Chain A
């Protein structure tokens, strides 16, 4: 069996398992809800709405995806800049050695 197929099978099982577990616990609560907000509520402190409330419908999903894409692009861009800087340094060293 090819490794790619094994990986795909494991991936499907993992997603299925996570979904089943998630349904049992109603949802995968964030630790902010499960701990921070829950304990705060017990002590009479409720979280208020954020200044710009983007937690409406799928808007937050869109913004998370956008943020991840922009952040990932920026990380890749700066990593490439660092690698190109290395090539430049190597070229300079070679030129110095040649003459």
Chain B
């Protein structure tokens, strides 16, 4: 009884400490998202047009799969809330002296598939743009394309490719997390460079933006890898049948 109370108070203390860190360190909104008004209208529209087919196909996929896969709804809810919270969470990087956030799209792409991950990212970014001064409505297309499309597809691609080499799933998840994060910020660098370059050459400006991202995103990419790997490990331990269903894995592979 006494031990149980002590465990509860430790958990309570832990929650207070995490909350205190968040409040103490919080000063402003921190984001990779391109803010409202930064991209010229033409480019903002262009990224919307490029993103919409992915989003539309993702919605069709949800409607098709939800009828057949009973576990899809809770997985969708879990992934959506994880992407929303992770992509909102500012993490201080002491070596760079700046804050940024991971994206979480590798997790949703691995669990749901890349097209559904685009829909999840779009919803998360829409709420952030509307109520949290995070990104913007005019840049929603470009932000969804970088975080949702590039992050999900590159992360998913890395995961599937490494799985073919029979590496353990948590390791595949770790690499997928890194790839998804770095792909997102590379795509943001491309979009920003194209949008603001004017008469300037594209490549030097793109490199300048990319290099400016490196001190923050290099360690954060690794952190995203650990987060993705952690979630995959948790699902493998608690619901190995689910990961087996998703990837049609043999039982030995799941146990490995």
For the complex, give the distance between the alpha carbons of A22 and B78 in Å: 34
* A74: chain B residues within 8 A (beta carbon): 77, 80-81
* A89: chain B residues within 8 A (beta carbon): 241
Q: Mark A1-44, 1 if CB is under 8 A from B, else 0.
A: 00010001001000101110110110111111111110110011
* A27: chain B residues within 8 A (beta carbon): 27-28
B59 adjacent to chain A (CB < 8 Å): no
Size class of the B contact interface (CB-based, 8 Å): 35 or more
B195 adjacent to chain A (CB < 8 Å): yes
For the complex, give the distance between the alpha carbons of A33 and B160 in Å: 35
- Interface contact A86-B132, CB-CB below 8 Å: no
Distance from B119 Cβ to chain A, minimum over Cβ atoms (Å):
16
- Interface contact A55-B17, CB-CB below 8 Å: no
For the complex, give the distance between the alpha carbons of A79 and B231 in Å: 11
B26 adjacent to chain A (CB < 8 Å): yes
B46 adjacent to chain A (CB < 8 Å): no
For the complex, give the distance between the alpha carbons of A21 and B32 in Å: 22
**CB contact under 8 A between A32 and B33, given known A11-B17, A50-B133, A78-B78:** yes
* B24: chain A residues within 8 A (beta carbon): 15, 19
Distance from B206 Cβ to chain A, minimum over Cβ atoms (Å):
11
Distance from B70 Cβ to chain A, minimum over Cβ atoms (Å):
8
- Interface contact B84-A52, CB-CB below 8 Å: no
List residues of B (36-50) whose CB comes within 8 Å of A's CBs. 36-40
Please classify the interface of chain A as helix (H, G, I), strand (E, B), loop, or mixed, using the class held by over half of its residues: helix
* A32: chain B residues within 8 A (beta carbon): 29-35
- Interface contact B31-A21, CB-CB below 8 Å: no
Distance from B246 Cβ to chain A, minimum over Cβ atoms (Å):
12
For the complex, give the distance between the alpha carbons of A77 and B238 in Å: 15
- Interface contact A48-B37, CB-CB below 8 Å: yes
- Interface contact A30-B98, CB-CB below 8 Å: yes
- Interface contact B36-A49, CB-CB below 8 Å: yes
* B195: chain A residues within 8 A (beta carbon): 45
Interface centre among B92, B133, B209, B212, by most A CB within 10 Å? Answer: B133
- Interface contact B137-A51, CB-CB below 8 Å: yes
* Chain B residue at smallest Cβ distance from A26: B97
* B208: chain A residues within 8 A (beta carbon): 39
- Interface contact A75-B17, CB-CB below 8 Å: no
- Interface contact A85-B74, CB-CB below 8 Å: yes
Which 8 pairs across A and B sit closest by C-beta, in order of nearness? A30-B30, A48-B37, A71-B85, A78-B77, A47-B35, A74-B81, A78-B78, A75-B81
Residue positions of B touching A, CB distance < 8 A: 10, 17, 20-40, 70-71, 74-75, 77-78, 80-82, 84-85, 88-90, 92, 94, 97-100, 127, 129-133, 136-137, 188, 192, 195-198, 200, 205, 208-209, 212-213, 216-217, 238-239, 241-242
Apart from A36-B38, A52-B130: 7 A-B pairs, beta carbons within 8 A: A18-B94, A30-B28, A30-B30, A30-B98, A31-B31, A45-B195, A71-B88
